[in-house]
């Protein structure tokens, strides 16, 4: 059974034709008033608005937006809403959409390239005006026909490949430099690096920056202190044993993302080692730990606002060259990164 023209209470929705009949005006006049077009007298506008109120008429917003070539929809594709960084990002976009009259669709990739492709193609089939995404796949070329058709794409945290898109990236190298410089000033030279899978753009950038920063301080990297893998409780537990239970253990740990940091803190809870810890990415309750968490903080709100600005600039110029904006990060000192090397 068709439900066209029926509202949620089971009542038939009034039509624009009925509004015209109630107001005693032409159908075209109602259309012009509803779509806020010029050249309608105040008297006729008042009649139409009164009829709309009397009939409780609601315009078909989807159809109206489509006639204008817009849907008022923004698609957001991120890896995991449980990750504090991406949760903050999603909320920032939602708050903007709420104020602009847009609707947000959020999909999760779980760092799976195939899932990324599936979610993005499901969303673009609904014709969003823009797509904000944190890519994981090697290429986003599958979006090319939609980009060519005028859909704005802005990537966040990682760049896109195979399409023309804007990108908002954290200053990964600058943040790692700040962390290593700080630990070296505390007297550390055996600095373990625990990072994410190198398939991930941010993981690659940060480990490269770690090696460069160590070289700048003329410190040879002990490859046994470098571990790159998905952050799991079991995996980080094994890693901590590998870097701390050795003849020359690490005296400091640089954790390259907040999920890894959370697992490091969990793993360290059962140990007696006094090891300095600096995290790239802050934790929501990092200041309540004892000692407080020293962290390189990147602002999801700033990155989201930057992405939204680029998106709004790209919408009227969908075929302009892509822009990349690097957002600064800041080292927040709270105590964990100031633990000196044990003698």
Tens of pLDDT, residue by residue over 211-236, are 999 999 999 999 999 999 887 878 88
Residue 307 pLDDT: 92
Residue numbers of the chain with a pLDDT score lower than 50 = 1-10, 62-69
The verdict on pTM exceeding 0.85 is no
Residue 100 pLDDT: 76
Q: Where are the alpha helices (DSSP H) in the chain?
A: 16-23, 27-34, 42-55, 61-67, 84-100, 113-124, 144-148, 172-185, 201-216, 233-244, 258-268, 300-314
Residue 63 pLDDT: 46
Residue 60 pLDDT: 54
Residue 317 corresponds to which tokens in the numbers above? 């110029």
Instruction: Tell me how many helices (H) and strands (E) the chain has.
Output: 12, 12
CA dist 274 and 201 (Å) reads 31
Residue 11 pLDDT: 53
Backbone angles phi and psi of 44, in degrees to 5: -70, -40
């Amino acid at each position: 059974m068709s439900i066209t023209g029926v509202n949620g209470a089971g009542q038939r929705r009034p039509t624009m034709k009925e509004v015209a009949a109630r107001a005693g005006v032409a159908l075209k006049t109602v259309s012009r008033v509803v779509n806020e077009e010029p050249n309608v007298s105040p008297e006729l506008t008042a009649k139409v608005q009164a009829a709309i109120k009397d009939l409780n008429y609601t315009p078909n917003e989807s159809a109206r937006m489509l006639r204008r070539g817009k849907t008022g929809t923004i698609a957001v594709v991120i890896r995991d809403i449980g990750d504090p960084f991406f949760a903050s990002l999603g909320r920032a976009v939602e708050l903007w959409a709420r104020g602009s009259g847009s609707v947000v669709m959020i999909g999760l990739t779980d760092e799976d390239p195939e899932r990324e492709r599936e979610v993005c193609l499901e969303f673009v089939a609904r014709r969003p005006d823009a797509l904000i995404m944190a890519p994981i796949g090697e290429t986003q070329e599958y979006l090319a026909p939609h980009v060519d058709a005028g859909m704005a794409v802005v990537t966040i945290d990682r760049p896109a490949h195979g399409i023309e898109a804007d990108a908002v990236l954290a200053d990964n190298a600058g943040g790692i430099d700040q962390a290593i410089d700080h630990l070296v000033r505390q007297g550390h030279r055996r600095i373990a690096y625990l990072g994410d899978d190198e398939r991930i753009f941010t993981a690659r950038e940060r480990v490269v920056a770690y090696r460069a920063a160590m070289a700048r301080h003329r410190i040879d990297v002990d490859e046994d202190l470098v571990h790159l893998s998905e952050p799991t409780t079991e995996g980080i537990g094994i890693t901590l044993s590998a870097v701390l239970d050795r003849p020359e253990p690490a005296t400091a740990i640089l954790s390259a993302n907040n999920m890894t940091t959370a697992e490091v803190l969990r793993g360290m809870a059962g140990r007696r080692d006094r090891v300095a810890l600096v995290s790239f990415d802050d934790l929501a309750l990092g200041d309540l730990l004892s000692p407080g968490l020293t962290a390189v903080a990147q602002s999801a709100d700033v990155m989201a606002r930057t992405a939204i600005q680029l998106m709004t600039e790209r919408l009227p110029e969908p075929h302009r060259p892509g822009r990349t904006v690097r957002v600064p990060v800041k080292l927040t000192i709270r105590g964990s990164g100031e633990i000196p090397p044990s003698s």
